[in-house]
Amino acid sequence: MTQATMPRRHFLRATAALGGGLVIGFHLPASKAATTVADPADATSQGVEINAWLTIDPAGIVTIRVPHTEMGQGGMTSVALLIAEELEVDWSNIRCVFADANRHLRNNNEYIVMSTRGSQLVRLQHPHLMQAGASARERLKEAAAQAWGVPRSDVTAKLGVLTAGTRRGAYAEFASAAAAVKLDAAPALKPPSQWTLLGKPRQRLDIPHKVDGSAQYAIDTRIPGMAYAAVKACPVPWGSLKRYDARAAKNRPGVIAVVEMNAVPGKRDLPDLQNAVAVVAESWWQAKTALDLIEFDWDAGESGMASSAGYVTEGRKALGEKGLVSKEDPKALEVISASKKLVSATYERPFETHARMEPINATAHVQKDRVDVWSPTQEQSFAVLLAADQLKVDPKIVYAHTPFLGGGFGGNGAGGTAVTRQAVELSKRVGRPVKVIWSREEDIAQDKQRPMVLAQLSASVGDDGLPTALSTRAAWFTQDKADRVGPATADNTLVAMPYKFPYRHHERHNLSTHIPSATHRAPGANQMGFIGECFIDELAIAGGWNPLDWRIEMTKGLEDWQFVLNTLKERAGFRTDLPKGQGMGVAAVASYGTIAAACATVSVSKRGELSIEKVVIVLDAGHVINPLAGAEQAEGSVVWELSHAWFGGLELNNGRFTNTNFHNYNLMRMPQAPVVETHFASSGGNRWGGLGEPAGPPTPAAVANAIWYATGKRVRSTPFVRHDLSWR
């Protein structure tokens, strides 16, 4: 029997054409509103360039250049909506291409910023994105005003058409003249009350491409003459290579070269090279199977003694000692020391990895006078700089081709890993385009992990059941005690809890590990949101309070928090009197300018089998420019955090992680995903919060608090799956 194989995209296209079951219920429009076909590294958009952000062609099609990556968060759609709202153009006439990172750097950061991280795209970039549309609109109006001999104030722009009295003309007629117009001042932006596109549900522009299989990710890159590389670095990060025997690999079919790459002494930043060996071959499978035959002798050094258990012991010891003071209040310690009713608890979170859908990869083509890079970084301009630095060439000859990303979650931020350096180095060495793909084991072993954290919390309770003082102490393990990841965000999350404690004290310990540490979706807030909000439940219950009412009471005077918490109370129907084995739990965490509250409903069998049935999310981001995308991001954030809190947890032994694939680093499967119900309690005003991350941090705490009501067992560490939740 012959087994035929068909690439996924060919299968999707074929089934779509045949009316196959995969596309039932989907609307596949004849013309898509977004396209990534026009690669700015090779060609310019057709039409007249009004400014760096957009062009208008003779048919009135507006092509928007998107400087941010699209990793499923709707970034392409958000940029287009923000610009189109101010431009006053028919949405059906919008097309998108990714902006040219080379141009961005060559013209002194022309697109202001190209990074896509920290829920910042709408939150921080909306002013200049909307200004790009507003300025283009006013330049078009000025061009028409000059042609018609009327003041610009007499010209109206609407749906791509300019009018003044009986005069009427399409944007395309005035595009060339508008390109030469210079405005005296930046025009004012519309107030939200005048929005016509923003604030309404809108399908993401990337969805049709992903449904029909035409979406191109970095791993899809194909170049004539391209070779493939599999790489292995020391399984103990930053370990050295003593020797290796590649004789068996060199004789394998398709093998082109075995290349050793060396770390630069003293360079231990996230995208720096580690000591590694790569096999370059005609196919990735040939490279990977040959790499597996190489005998390695690694020197892990002192890091080879590190383990999760050892770090936990070290962290617990640190929690008993005074740390760096982030919020000092000696009175808090005095009140707690003299208290007749004290609540204390210690919480722990392990290392976690990103485990994106798309394994880490990059492709590079190094030529004498030009370098091309296809890198799944969350900042394409940084891919240009990384390649230029590795090759010691002028960034002006380096071109980054922006693909879709198969997940980011912070791991691809600003280059994230050394894979871009590896790709350009290997292409230079073998004189051919090279695609580097890390195996899933290499991906997890060499990823930039979420730090391990422990925290101790103590509070005194008054006669009214409310706290009189709170003291917290956290211990974070980051690479070389780095303060750039973890501790700062941990402080922000714990210290910035909105609850009105009369006295408040916080300390932290920066503890050192060799494990590279980096941002993970909602960094700091993810771990400390769980820790803080679980303890809040313990504190409320110890005082005899309903945990949701406690939170409402302790945020009186904070209108935005009151709005969110009362909306959660109304929408979720939180109860504490469900039958044994069932429970509801709540939590609330603010991050990235957004307040997020969660209510989880769970059931736990007598044997301890957990089922998370529903999670209700209430969000206040101030303004929501696309409610559909916002809800999708809330759902994704919930699943992301629950995956790690329920099933994750990297185990470190002998300096290396022992669970480096999905058979022993489990994440949530589709049947385990709860129903997620999202509500927006938007306060408006000057608040512009992010929506890509904030729904995640309160969710595990809400689940853990629900488990307590279902079983009477308090969960103070993750993953949940390691706890005995059985009850009688």
First to last CA, the chain: 54
The sign one gets for the Cα dihedral 127, 133, 138, 139 is positive
Maximum Cα interatomic distance, the chain, rounded to a whole number of Å: 85
Q: What integer pLDDT is reported at residue 365 of this predicted model? A: 98
Q: Are 650 and 659 in contact (CB under 8 A)?
A: yes
> pLDDT tens-digit profile of 681-690?
999 999 999 9
326 or 38: which leads in pLDDT: 326
CA distances from 179 to 48, 55, 107, 134, 333 (A): 7, 9, 18, 14, 65
Per-residue pLDDT at 11 exceeds 70: no
Tokens at 499, concatenated: 């609850």
Q: What integer pLDDT is reported at residue 341 of this predicted model? A: 96
Q: Are 364 and 427 in contact (CB under 8 A)?
A: yes
Tokens 């200004």 -> residue = 131
Q: Which domains are seen in the chain, by residue range? A: 30-212 (3.30.365.10), 218-301+360-437 (3.30.365.10), 308-352+449-722 (3.30.365.10)
Give the whole-angstrom CA distance, residue 616 versus residue 533.
16
> pLDDT tens-digit profile of 264-317?
999 998 899 999 999 999 999 999 999 999 999 999 999 999 999 999 999 999
Give the whole-angstrom CA distance, residue 193 versus residue 693.
27
Q: Are 716 and 346 in contact (CB under 8 A)?
A: yes
Tokens at 517, concatenated: 């540490």
Tokens at 450, concatenated: 């979420």
Q: Are 308 and 452 in contact (CB under 8 A)?
A: yes
Per-residue pLDDT at 589 exceeds 80: yes
Torsion of CA 476, 480, 485, 490, to 10 degrees: 20
Task: Report helix, strand or coil for 605.
Answer: coil
Please confirm whether the linkage preceding 719 is cis (ω < 30° from 0).
yes
CA distances from 73 to 361, 524, 629 (A): 20, 20, 7
* Mode of pairing for the β-strands spanning 434-437 and 227-233: parallel
Give the whole-angstrom CA distance, residue 77 versus residue 66.
9
Q: What integer pLDDT is reported at residue 14 of this predicted model? A: 39
> pLDDT tens-digit profile of 139-195?
999 999 999 999 999 999 999 999 999 999 999 999 999 999 999 999 999 999 999
Alpha helix positions (H), 35-152: 75-87, 101-106, 121-148
Q: What integer pLDDT is reported at residue 562 of this predicted model? A: 98
pTM here is 0.93
Question: For the stretch 324-354, what's the b/e string if a residue is b when 16 or more beta carbons lie within 10 angstroms of its beta carbon?
Answer: eebbebeebeebbeebeeebebbbbbbbbbb
Give the whole-angstrom CA distance, residue 260 versus residue 246.
11
Give the whole-angstrom CA distance, residue 197 versus residue 190.
12
Across 396-413, average pLDDT: 86
Residue 629 backbone phi and psi in degrees, to 5: -65, -35
CB 712: neighbour CB atoms within 10 A? Answer: 11
Give the whole-angstrom CA distance, residue 174 versus residue 348.
62
Per-residue pLDDT at 710 exceeds 50: yes
Task: Report helix, strand or coil for 3.
Answer: coil
Q: What integer pLDDT is reported at residue 417 of this predicted model? A: 82
Instruction: Tell me the pLDDT band of 376, cut-offs 50, 70 and 90.
Output: confident
> pLDDT tens-digit profile of 330-348?
999 999 999 999 999 999 9
Instruction: Tell me the pLDDT band of 30, cut-offs 50, 70 and 90.
Output: very low
Tokens at 210, concatenated: 């992903």
Give the whole-angstrom CA distance, residue 726 versus residue 353.
28
Q: What integer pLDDT is reported at residue 485 of this predicted model? A: 65
